[in-house]
Amino acid sequence: MSDIRIRTIQTQERDAVLDLLKEWLNDRAFFARYFHHDPEFRDDLCFVASDGERIVSTFQVFRKQVRVGSAVLQVAGVGNVFTAEEHREEIARQPQKEPFPELPIVGYPGGDIEILVQRCRIREEDRQEELRVPFQHL
């Protein structure tokens, strides 16, 4: 079994993440426009699983505001969840060895993201529709 490590990316790794995401829709430009032009995109909210130097899986956390009644809440959405085909079973079965770093968003401790990742670890072929994951804390 490989030594998979989950971490956030450095700016110079954006192209490697885009190359991985291209395998999903065969459209690198679709994702590149967000990486390069969305002012809300942040490297510290783009998580990857790396096997040595190779990025084999990714997901991103997006900051969102939602209105519930008269209250406006800061929430986090998850998107661009993708794993290279040859690593899907391994990623799904491997326990997380290191705790997630605290997210640089007030109210989103690393433990919440750890819960989220455990829920996202499903086999790709079992997914019939878009994965929707409820958050534990607001």
Q: 9-63: per-residue pLDDT in tens?
A: 999 999 999 999 999 889 999 999 999 998 889 998 899 999 989 999 999 988 8
Digit-coded pLDDT (tens) for 59-107: 998 888 888 888 888 777 888 999 999 988 887 776 655 555 555 554 5
Dist CA 43 CA 55 (whole Å):
14
Q: Domain boundaries in the chain?
A: 4-126
Question: CATH homologous superfamily for 4-126?
Answer: Gcn5-related N-acetyltransferase (GNAT) (3.40.630.30)
Digit-coded pLDDT (tens) for 109-127: 544 454 445 444 444 444 4
Burial degree of 58 (CB within 10 A; 0-12, 13-18, 19+):
buried
